[in-house]
């Protein structure tokens, strides 16, 4: 049993704020600043160059990767940290395409995060080999997994609606058609009880600044299934993915397994902040998080739907079919969200008319949900937003 | 006139240490921990998601890029931060190759840092379009710039010997042959008075954890000449390089100028540490740094050569022809370096037999150099290293 009051106490949440935007940027773990100071002063400051060995910086990407592995149901030793999620998408996709040279279709869906589609587009143009990015509606993915498909590139949870794909079923379908799968876990890692190994995923990538609370711009991760780990050719063949980085050979030889997915020098300071955030995960497990998350999102979706009929639920009603967020469609959503934020309920807005609210059991409890519902009711029923804001379409990430 | 005693006071150097390895990892700026605390607590902690606008995180990569631009002689608005140097090499190279579709040769030299060669190798394999990575001896680069060459990929200062290429001359030669240039400034930025705009460089990339003191794994930068900035197609087409990232369009449209070289979410915390380091550069300029650097490396090279005849100078004798480091060849160099490190003189070793010493006027003065010379003399003349260490070939980065 997880004691969520204890995990909640690990976070700094500003006084009076109900933070329902952890699906965009997680809050500050109270221990992170001290951890960062220690790494900066005791390691960088005192050890300087010897920190690479003495402080274990060189092994940090796989050491942290193993902690992520536990949260996404990956085998130990098969996740490594580094770069940004967009780079990791490119890396996984490039490797996967080479493993299916006779096929030319990358299958994705319109619920995917745009950067994934952009990176695929960029890769296809660079390759110049006649690949096609085929983007279908989320509900049509399964039917479109044909023998033309080299690889599926799917984000498990839709960043706007929270709709959850069935990873195991789609992966099975892909494998039956001879295709590979790249799963983007941006809205999954730390949010749902994802099990990449059980689902048979070939590649998985994700970021750590949302539900994992690693801080703004925290590093990404990549998982490669053990059966591919020594086969996949790294397109981004940097020196730290070399079999012997410090031999300074002139030719590249990929390192063993997941090591080859390392590229450049690891972001030591950023990973230190993430390590402090991951300590909190030692107090719980994904099964407990997922159970609590479903309770919270259900309570929120039901209460808001009941009290605010002008809001149309954009997320699946069935908690099993959604991630850890609840979204509503509302034409004046941008303005309404500004009014909520001014009253301490922090969600966000995604064009053209989605109001998004994320729920993280680590620091959000049922009392927070009910307080948020009261404020939303007040704002929506009282039409308390600024009409001048209506139609404004600026947005924060 | 720069007061170098004032810049020196800005760094934390452990008691009794003479740190001659800033060409690998720069030391901790004293102001960096407090800056990091402020960003973590006042920005991430208090502003949370609104930090992207309120704290200026979204503009941070170009804001910091402009400060780097000043140090490398680039035009304002044409440098952006992000990713690692290896990724930036790939990005520049991929764009350059597309600008010379009829040419198939990437010309580099054996003095280049291996990761640059590896990234080129990986890109060539991915493209599958018959490109060739042609690696010649450093002194043969010029003669090999032919009309076959699409792009030269040259690190200005050799990481082992400190030998400095003539950027302006090689760029002129490349342009005369119709080729483009990608310059790697890893050992140049903050070390020599490089002027990418004056030299006519097409692309330049570099890291910030060496002479720029941004901390272990600090982010990289990329420069694209204004004449190419709206032409170069970004192969790594991530959402933050999109013309309108928050429109969440399904198709990629490159942003204006250098913005298109952004890829994923910026590493806010890592960039904060770098910003603290860059404040120190406001106290000086590259002309002053370069003049002082030449004094220090000359003093060191002459004194060590005179006192320790068993050490063979591996760096050019002419200070104009080398960067800000001095290297010696010594068969038992690994063991000898361990003995120096044990006595507080921190240099490093590069296989098979190079002892490297870096000099950074920001925090190294002539008195430090002379103290280091005394200790080196003592160790070398007295043969004070552990013979058991001889032949050991482990190395730190």
What are the extents of the domains in chain B? 4-30+285-389, 33-281
| Residues B192/B196/B200/B202 CA torsion (nearest 10 deg) | 120
Q: Do A94 and B269 touch (CB under 8 A)?
A: no
Mean pLDDT for the stretch of residues B155-162: 97
Q: Is A20 on the interface with B (CB under 8 A)?
A: no
The chain-wide mean pLDDT, for chain B, equals: 96
Mean pLDDT for the stretch of residues B94-113: 98
ipTM above 0.95, yes or no: yes
Q: Is A105 on the interface with B (CB under 8 A)?
A: no
Q: Which of B67, B163, B173, B210 is catalytic?
A: B210
Confidence tier at B236 by pLDDT (50, 70, 90) = very high
Number of neighbouring beta carbons within 10 Å of residue A271: 26
DSSP, res B147 = T
Look at residue B339 in the predicted model and tell me its pLDDT: 97
Q: What are phi and psi of A89, to 5 degrees?
A: -60, -45
Q: Is B167 on the interface with A (CB under 8 A)?
A: no
Residue B82 has pLDDT above 50, yes or no: yes
Q: Which of A32, A40, A237 is nearest residue B28 as measured by Cβ atoms?
A: A40
Residues in chain A: 397
Interface test with A, best of B21, B102, B132, B217 (most A CBs within 10 A): B217
Cα–Cα distance between B65 and B75 in angstroms, integer?
10
CA distance B332 to chain A (A): 17
Look at residue A392 in the predicted model and tell me its pLDDT: 54
Q: Spell out the long-range contacts of A380-383 with Cβ–Cβ below 8 A and sequence spacing 24 or more.
A: A380/A307, A380/A308, A380/A310, A380/A311, A380/A336, A381/A307, A381/A308
First to last CA, chain A: 34
Cα–Cα distance between B120 and B360 in angstroms, integer?
30
Range B4-30+285-389: architecture per CATH: Alpha-Beta Complex (3.90)
Cα–Cα distance between A40 and B32 in angstroms, integer?
8
Look at residue A397 in the predicted model and tell me its pLDDT: 36
Please report residues of B whose CB lies closer than 8 A to that of A32. 40
Structure tokens at B163: 């030998």
* Angle subtended by helix axes B60-72 and B268-281, to nearest 10: 30
Reduced to 3 states (helix: H, G, I; strand: E, B; else coil), residue A64 is helix
Beta-strand (E) ranges in chain A?
A: 11-12, 18-19, 28-29, 79-81, 105-109, 132-136, 149-155, 180-184, 203-206, 221-224, 312-313, 325-329, 345-346, 348-350, 354-358
CA distance A378 to chain B (A): 23
Look at residue B351 in the predicted model and tell me its pLDDT: 86
Instruction: Please give the interface size between A and B, counted as residue pairs whose CB atoms are below 8 Å apart.
Output: 290
H helix and E strand count, chain B: 14, 15
CA distance B44 to chain A (A): 6
For chain B positions 137-166, those within 8 Å of chain A (CB to CB) are: none
Structure tokens at B89: 């090499």
Helix residue ranges, H only, A153-205: 167-176, 196-199
Sort residue B190 into left (φ over 0), alpha (ψ -120 to 50) or beta. left
Averaged over successive runs of 10 residues, the pLDDT of chain A (397 residues) comes to 96 98 98 98 98 97 98 98 98 98 98 97 97 98 98 97 98 98 98 98 98 98 98 97 94 98 98 98 97 98 98 98 98 95 96 95 98 98 87 47
Q: Do A49 and B397 touch (CB under 8 A)?
A: yes
Sign of the alpha-carbon dihedral angle for B85, B90, B94, B99: positive
Angle A41-B190-B270 from CA coordinates, rounded to 5°:
40
Cα–Cα distance between B33 and B39 in angstroms, integer?
10
**Is A129 within 8 Å of A283 (Cβ atoms)?**
no
Structure tokens at A268: 């030591």
Please report residues of A whose CB lies closer than 8 A to that of B101. none
Structure tokens at A114: 């745009």
For chain B positions 348-367, those within 8 Å of chain A (CB to CB) are: 348, 350-351
Reduced to 3 states (helix: H, G, I; strand: E, B; else coil), residue B70 is helix
Percentage of the residues of chain B whose pLDDT score is greater than 70: 98
Does B297 sit behind a cis peptide bond, omega within 30 degrees of 0 on the bond before it? no
Q: Do A28 and B41 touch (CB under 8 A)?
A: yes
Q: Which of A19, A113, A349, A359 is catalytic?
A: A113
| Residues A234/A235/A239/A245 CA torsion (nearest 10 deg) | 30
DSSP, res B83 = S
Interface test with B, best of A19, A22, A35, A44 (most B CBs within 10 A): A44
**Is A109 within 8 Å of A136 (Cβ atoms)?**
yes
Look at residue B1 in the predicted model and tell me its pLDDT: 84
At a CB cut-off of 8 Å and minimum separation 6, what does A367 contact? none
Confidence tier at B392 by pLDDT (50, 70, 90) = low
Structure tokens at A50: 């010897």
β-strands B180-184, B149-155 pairing: parallel
Residue B272 has pLDDT above 90, yes or no: yes
Among the listed residues B239, B233, B237, the one whose alpha carbon sits nearest the alpha carbon of residue B265: B239
For chain B positions 232-251, those within 8 Å of chain A (CB to CB) are: 233-240, 242, 245-251
Across the strands, what pairs with A154?
A183
Q: Which of A86, A128, A236 is nearest residue B239 as measured by Cβ atoms?
A: A86
Rg (alpha carbons) of chain A, rounded to whole number: 21
Number of neighbouring beta carbons within 10 Å of residue A19: 23
**Is B234 within 8 Å of B216 (Cβ atoms)?**
no
Cα–Cα distance between A41 and A38 in angstroms, integer?
5
Cα–Cα distance between B257 and B65 in angstroms, integer?
13
Structure tokens at B8: 């020196």
Q: Is A56 on the interface with B (CB under 8 A)?
A: no
Cα–Cα distance between A86 and A108 in angstroms, integer?
15
Structure tokens at B2: 């720069």
Reduced to 3 states (helix: H, G, I; strand: E, B; else coil), residue A212 is coil
Distances (CA, A) of A250 to A114, A238, B107, B111, B127: 37, 12, 14, 10, 20
Cα–Cα distance between A160 and A186 in angstroms, integer?
12
- Chain segment B45-80, per-residue pLDDT in tens: 999 999 999 999 999 999 999 999 999 999 999 999
Q: Spell B26-59 as b/e; 16+ CB within 10 A means b.
A: bbbbebbbebbbbbbeebbbbbbbbbbeebebbe
**Is B259 within 8 Å of B232 (Cβ atoms)?**
no
Reduced to 3 states (helix: H, G, I; strand: E, B; else coil), residue A232 is coil
Burial of B17 (0-12, 13-18, 19+ CB in 10 A): middle
Is the CATH number of domain A33-281 3.30.1130.10? no
Look at residue B397 in the predicted model and tell me its pLDDT: 36
Q: Do A264 and B87 touch (CB under 8 A)?
A: yes
**For the domain bounded by A4-29+285-389, which CATH number is listed?**
3.90.1150.10
Q: Which of B116, B356, B357, B359 is catalytic?
A: B356
For chain A positions 296-335, those within 8 Å of chain B (CB to CB) are: none
**Is A92 within 8 Å of A106 (Cβ atoms)?**
no
**Do B4-30+285-389 and B33-281 agree at the fold level?**
no
Q: Which of B24, B217, B250 is nearest residue A135 as measured by Cβ atoms?
A: B250
Residues in chain B: 397
Cα–Cα distance between B170 and B156 in angstroms, integer?
10
Cα–Cα distance between B200 and B187 in angstroms, integer?
19
């Amino acid at each position: 049993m997880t004691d969520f009051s204890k995990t909640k106490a690990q976070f700094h949440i500003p006084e009076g704020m109900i933070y329902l935007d952890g699906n965009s940027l997680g809050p500050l773990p109270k221990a992170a600043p001290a951890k960062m100071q220690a790494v900066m002063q005791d390691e960088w400051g005192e050890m300087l160059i010897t920190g690479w060995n003495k402080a274990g910086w060189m092994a940090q990407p796989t050491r942290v990767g193993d902690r992520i592995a536990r949260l996404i149901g990956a085998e130990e030793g098969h996740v490594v940290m580094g770069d940004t999620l967009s780079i990791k998408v490119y890396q996984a996709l490039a490797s996967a395409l080479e493993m299916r040279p006779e096929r030319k279709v990358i299958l994705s869906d319109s619920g995917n995060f745009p950067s994934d589609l952009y990176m695929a587009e960029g890769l296809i143009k660079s390759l110049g080999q006649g690949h096609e990015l085929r983007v279908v509606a989320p509900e049509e993915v399964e039917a479109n997994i044909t023998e033309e498909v080299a690889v599926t590139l799917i984000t498990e949870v839709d960043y706007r609606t929270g709709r959850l794909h069935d990873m195991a079923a789609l992966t099975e379908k892909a494998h039956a058609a001879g295709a590979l799968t790249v799963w983007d876990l941006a809205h999954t890692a730390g949010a749902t009880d994802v099990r990449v190994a059980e689902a048979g995923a070939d590649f998985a990538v994700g970021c750590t600044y949302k539900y994992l609370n690693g801080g703004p711009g925290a590093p990404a991760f990549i998982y490669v299934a053990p059966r591919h780990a020594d086969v996949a050719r790294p397109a981004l063949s940097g020196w730290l993915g070399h079999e012997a980085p410090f031999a300074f050979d002139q030719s590249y030889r990929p390192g063993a397994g997941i090591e080859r997915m390392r590229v450049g020098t690891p972001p030591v300071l950023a990973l230190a902040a993430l390590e402090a955030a991951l300590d909190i995960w030692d107090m719980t497990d994904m099964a407990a998080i997922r159970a609590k998350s479903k309770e919270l999102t259900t309570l929120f979706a039901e209460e808001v739907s009941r009290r605010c009929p002008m809001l149309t639920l954009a997320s699946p009603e069935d908690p099993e079919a959604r991630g850890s967020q609840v979204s509503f469609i509302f034409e004046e959503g941008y303005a309404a969200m500004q009014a909520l934020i001014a009253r301490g309920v922090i969600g966000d807005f995604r064009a053209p008319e989605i109001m998004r609210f994320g729920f993280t059991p680590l620091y959000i409890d049922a009392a927070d949900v009910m307080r948020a519902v009261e404020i939303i009711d007040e704002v929506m029923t009282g039409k308390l937003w600024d009409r001048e804001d209506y139609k404004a379409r600026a947005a924060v990430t």
